[in-house]
Structure 1
Amino acid sequence: MKRSAEAAAPPVAARELTAVSADGSRIHVELHGPDDAPAVVLAHGWTCSTHFWAAQIRDLSADHRVIAYDQRGHGRTPAAVKAGHSTEALADDLEAVLATALEPGTKAVLAGHSMGGMTLMAAAGRPKFAEHAVAALLCSTGSSRLVAESLVVPLRPGPVRTRITRSILGSRAPLGPVTPLSKRILRYGTMGPGSAPEKVAECARIVHACPRPARVAWARVLAELDLDAGVRELRVPTAVVAGTADRLTPITHARALAEALPECVGLDELTGMGHMTPVEAPEAVSGRIRALVNAYLKQEEKAV
């Protein structure tokens, strides 16, 4: 059964803030839910926006304070200067969001999807991360070798596949309007084979709305990504969620993260799901965030 237009619309924020990053970049931040509820911070992935977390915001904001923000160059956050695309910039932006949206010392569960998960890894050793993060969720992400291990191109692993994958992901070609063909391409590359048409359409609208300069600039950063050291710095209880049919960050990345994390508290392998797990399996992702809140944030509050 198709969702109503009202249910499909992105949630309206209770309040909006602007965080100012280390280089002066202005980051769009949305607050949902009660101010005095347990806090959850959501960081979206490459070519997405706060709209990507719509299902989690609807679910969690009933009894959580949900903080979602647009990564630089995405959604309502302006494009960065040419030199402003790096994992250090991602960490700077997250620190700015935490400082702006949370009171000093307030703890939160941080969840990142894809590039958002990489943001958590990049920021793991930062002071604001240590001050505010009580637990984390890494969702459909990886820390290195993203191009080499991608399965988007159906060839054997090797230099040829790597070159073709790099050229596809970093292509400067405009995505254009959402069409039946573009939805089929997006579904193949980023979603599980059983994804419902309305979920494919939802992801297509979000991805196609990403400005081309941001898409290309961040693709170059991701192609050279090496955050293995950041994984080892992620010393809060951390859960990992990934789809078994993910072509962009195959399940091997999730298993490697679970093995390398200092305190991994669970690896959820979602059978048949692709890269867009918060949209494809919203109940599973929201449920894991709730479990982290209950296990770590509420216990922290009781201890204070």
Structure 2
Amino acid sequence: MNRRDIAVTSADGSSVHVEVYGPEGAPAVVLAHGWTCSTRFWDAQIWDLAVDHRVIAYDQRGHGGSPVPDPLAAGKGYSTEALADDLEAVLGAALGPGERAVVAGHSMGGMTIMAAARRPLFRQHAAAALLCSTGPSRLTDEALVVPLGPGRLRTRLSRAVLGSKAPLGPVTPVSKRILRYATMGAGSAPERVDACARIVHACPRAARHGWSQVLAGLDLEADVRELRLPVTVLVGAADRLTPPRHSRAMAEALPHCTGLVELAGMGHMTPVEAPEAVSAQIRELTLTYLGAKKNHLVNDRPVPEQTVKEEAEA
């Protein structure tokens, strides 16, 4: 699979690492990952979509190949405005003038899309969006990671757990069990739990803590209503970090919600837990709003419809 990396500079001078896959001129997809993840979180979607899409995946600041923000500028380096700035910078650098893309965001990536809703460059380039396993506000109030009933104690404990500065250490059987409980469905395949654990444990501690403070005080409710483009909402029914009530409320508030998909048995890490379902939703959006050609599966790989017709005629 062909890949090229580009270095993008955001509004405050921060560097954003961007990876581009797939053929030039193909329908464009932009992928924004979530808190403590990286572009590697989207590997299944990249592998699937880059056959006939141009896939643009980037590391949120402080994750993967994007440097950790300067701690002396924490108020600016860690903010929803910074998330929106970075997404706009990626769109401006990776897309041509007037070119549009489907933008998919998981967890904090979905919050990035909400934060950018009013931005002119986002509105210019985004044809449709997928909000995947995310929420706009009250994240620590609604999280179900701590097995207590709703209330101040659960909120306080959730904030302490999710905002901990403690190092995660190496990936071990115990750490994988903890991660699966907090972020994945009970039936998640061991290899997928292992993949998620390695991605999450690779996140720098400073970035993990810095962004946890932003997420704890998040309020993007008004921005959801400013997403004036077609939006599909997807969530795992067993999501403990951003439970389905967030997705149902967003679907009600969005001006143009194209569908609410709840995946039975899946947790928060839906692009890794249910990669085919997430890719299918992105493909449906590109087909509908970018005019991408419908594909057929041959040996479990997507093949353009035109190719199938040509082979049949031959």
Relative to the length of structure 1, the TM-score reads: 0.94
Give the distance between the partners of 2:44 and 2:3, measured in 1 at CA: 16
- SS of the aligned residue for 2:265 comes to coil
Corresponding residue for residue 303 of structure 2: none
Corresponding residue for residue 133 of structure 1: 126
Q: Which amino acid aligns with 2:253?
A: A
Q: Confirm whether residue 87 of structure 1 aligns to residue 80 of structure 2.
A: yes
Give the distance between the partners of 1:244 and 1:185, measured in 2 at CA: 19
Unaligned runs of 5+ in 2: 293-314
- SS of the aligned residue for 1:187 comes to helix
Q: Pairwise mapping of residues 282-301 of structure 1 onto structure 2 (< 5 A)? A: 282-298=275-291
Give the distance between the partners of 2:109 and 2:138, measured in 1 at CA: 17
Q: Pairwise mapping of residues 1-304 of structure 1 onto structure 2 (< 5 A)? A: 14-81=3-70, 82-83=74-75, 84-298=77-291
Per-residue deviation, 1:13: 5.7
Per-residue deviation, 1:80: 1.1
Corresponding residue for residue 3 of structure 1: none
Unaligned runs of 5+ in 1: 1-11, 300-304
Give the distance between the partners of 1:137 and 1:39, measured in 2 at CA: 14
- SS of the aligned residue for 1:205 comes to helix
Q: Which amino acid aligns with 2:86?
A: D
Give the distance between the partners of 1:79 and 1:178, measured in 2 at CA: 22
Per-residue deviation, 1:297: 1.0
Give the distance between the partners of 1:138 and 1:34, measured in 2 at CA: 25
Q: Which has the larger radius of gyration?
A: 2
Give the distance between the partners of 2:9 and 2:119, measured in 1 at CA: 16
Give the distance between the partners of 2:239 and 2:209, measured in 1 at CA: 21
The answer to whether the Cα contact below 8 Å between 1:98 and 1:132 also exists between their aligned partners in 2 is: yes
The answer to whether the Cα contact below 8 Å between 1:13 and 1:30 also exists between their aligned partners in 2 is: no
Higher alpha-carbon deviation: 157-166 or 13-22: 13-22
Give the distance between the partners of 2:163 and 2:223, measured in 1 at CA: 24
Give the distance between the partners of 2:2 and 2:144, measured in 1 at CA: 36
Which structure 1 residue ranges, 4+ long, deviate > 3 Å from structure 2? none
Corresponding residue for residue 312 of structure 2: none
Q: Which amino acid aligns with 1:294?
A: L
Per-residue deviation, 1:90: 0.1
What is the aligned residue count?
288
Identity of aligned residues (%): 70
